[in-house]
Amino acid sequence: AAAAAKDIVIAQVAPFSGVQASAGMSYAAGLRLAFAAVNAAGGINGNQIRLVTADDAYKPDETVRLAKEIIAKESPVALAATVGTANADALIKANVLADNGIALVGPSSGASSVIGKPGVFVTKASYADEVNQLLTTLSSMGLSRVAVVYQDDGYGKDLLDAAVALAPKYKVELVARAPYDRITGDIAPAV
């Protein structure tokens, strides 16, 4: 069995530089920690789990390019912990998952464009669920006028759509809506 053992590769294409670097690095650290525990206990049927990472700098086109490269070179059994709705959307739209028969596990997106797509296994609440909870909390605090600053991409627009749809239920008025650039993260103009 030991001679036949081989690595089980999981690939993570995420930002390790740029505005979302801390998210990519945090997810990678969590994956490594979990895999180290499994490997220390003998792995999976004697096979060790190995994480292969690539830095997409939070750019969707790089997510697609690097995922294709890693799949061709490393033959991972799954992609894991991508960061960004636009990045997960890009993998789905480019058919990277379907064309390679590979799953995306735990993308950091709760967008409706990602949840329920073939081969995608989301491990977080939907953005609509998160907005619902936020509005529940604001309403319970007696706050009824809210300004929304949102990231100018699918993620932010999904959150804004949820806020627009759910605000009347809580008698919350959205008094202002302003987008900010997803790459720079500069919210000053929007604020």
| Per-residue pLDDT reduced to its tens digit, 123-156 | 988 889 999 999 999 999 999 999 999 999 888 8
Tokens of residue 18, six digits:
């740029």
The predicted model scores a pTM of 0.79
The yes-or-no verdict on residue 82 having pLDDT over 90 is yes
Which one, of 29, 30, 35, 24, lies nearest residue 66 by Cα?
24
**What are the backbone dihedrals phi and psi of residue 43, each rounded to the nearest 5 degrees, phi first?**
75, -155
Q: What are the distances in angstroms from CA 117 to CA 59, 103, 180?
A: 21, 10, 27
